[in-house]
Structure 1
Amino acid sequence: MFVPRSVRPDRLGKRIDVGGALTVTAALVLIVLGVERAAHTGAAVSVGTLLAGLAFLVAFLVIERRSAEPLVRLGILRGGSLVRANLSAMLFAAGFFGFQFLVVLYLQDLRGWSTLETSFAMLVIGIDAILSPTLTPRLVDRFGNARVILGGLLLAVLAYGLFLRVGADWSYATMFPSLIALGLAFSLAYGPLTIVATEGIAEEEQGLAGGLLYTAFQFGAALGLSAVTAVSVAATDTQTPEALLDGYRTGLLVPFAAAVIAAVISAFGLRSRQGGAASTPADTTAEHTGATVSR
């Protein structure tokens, strides 16, 4: 009752890009499915699914290029800061969710921890709920978005790197540095990424830019979960504790690699004036609210 009523797009004479919506949805679903299938089906099936996804993606681009009212105006992708933010967001989400998935499997399936114990162990990652509206805006004001984003991504690299050699009997104190570093990484990277992705975009395309970013986050999360599952399953020969641990260690290379690539991409933003623009604490707080809901 507090949201003003708006006129539906079809009643404003605007056409809905059904073809674009269907092809991009099919592309994203098939790409994720192809990655997930890699460990459960033959290579031919997985590659075929990936190729089908890429074919739908090409079809989407063709439709958007020819459409008078495209779902995504392709010209918006010429902005370097927007593209960097979306790629970094996709890779960061892939590593963030993939890492947590493997840690939960490690704690519950290998270590025998209960759901409650695992939840309390992972709770420290939620420190971003405190730091995002308090510490992050101050750092952005002083160093700019690009440096804060890069710092967050480098913390993610550290978090995943410290966990690569996880042992069968690690204490929680040994795991803690990785978990707290990941919480810090999220608090530094997420808010500034949402700002950089929409910075310099025309007012009428702010919704489009925001939609692209959140699609990148969601697609990255699905892709990361599929990738770590495929890699860890493929690396697990038997269901013995030793084999499971080897599989988890191999799977942990996926979030580590994703964070490294994201950091490299983000580093190019240091030369961009837009990447260094500051934001207000209210901006970062508002953006972080969406992150908490999406998780």
Structure 2
Amino acid sequence: MELRQLEHFIAVAEESHFTRAARRMHIAQSGLSASIRALEVELGAPLFLRTTRQVELTQAGRALLPEARRALATVEAARDAVAAVQGLLRGTLSVGSLQCLHVVHLPAVLSRFHELHPGVEIRMRQSGNAELVEEVRAGRLDLAFVTRQPRLADDLRVSTLASEPLVLACAPGSPFAGRESVALDELEEQPFVDFNADWGTRDEVDRTLAAAGVDRHVAVEVNDVHSLLDFVGFGLGVALVPQSFAVKPTRAHFVGLRGDVPVAETVVVTGHTVSAAAHVLLDMVVEARAGRLRAAG
């Protein structure tokens, strides 16, 4: 089995089309088809269901796809390790992140990384927690910044970047606005503004309120912090948000929670094989995070 065959297989699987895959790999379609056939013969199983309109993975193909991605990622990591010894970073760094990552200013960190390592192509993707984690697990992302999930696959590494309490955000005219603290059960009949499912801290807030026995109604769903705070500030609902949101310019007021205060934990997820470029970026993120904490102190 050759690495080139795995590259051809992944291209066809992702494009669901031999012609597009051949164009992507800069190879004649006949050569691509021959490569896939040779791989199927070696493995003793068909990898694709071919029709006149589309190409679909067989059960064997679906089983091979994550392993093929991991194999290529391991090879790329080996190349990166040799390059790193020579003081050279090259290749591609694929980064996933929640939108409005509040614990570190990622654009500034990526800009600095690009300045220091212009030979590395940076690819950036924003999405929900579960999708980003799956992209890392499948080898399509080198690392992702997400909110910690209750259960993560054993083939992933998880490192905590920041942990902070949740607070209540409410409008200036809300009866909660002048309070020092609020209990979760007082929020029973309040309309809520929150992120879309699997976005930001939404899942953590869902679990927190369910555990407190609060049957809530989400009146407004958004996918960015600024919209959430705007809707809250103008009285469309309350929200439970990380404490650091209080530094953002907004009409909303922030009130602490009483009792067993829930926390939002931002983590970095990687595979067990981490590229040299990803290691460098993680070091820069930790340094930038420490700098922000020193400035805040």
TM > 0.5 between the two?
A: no
Interval containing the TM-score (normalised by the shorter chain): under 0.3
Q: Which has the higher strand share?
A: 2
TM-score by length of structure 1 reads: 0.23
Q: Which has the higher helix share?
A: 1
Task: Select the structure with the greater relative contact order (CA < 8 A; seq sep ≥ 6).
Answer: 1
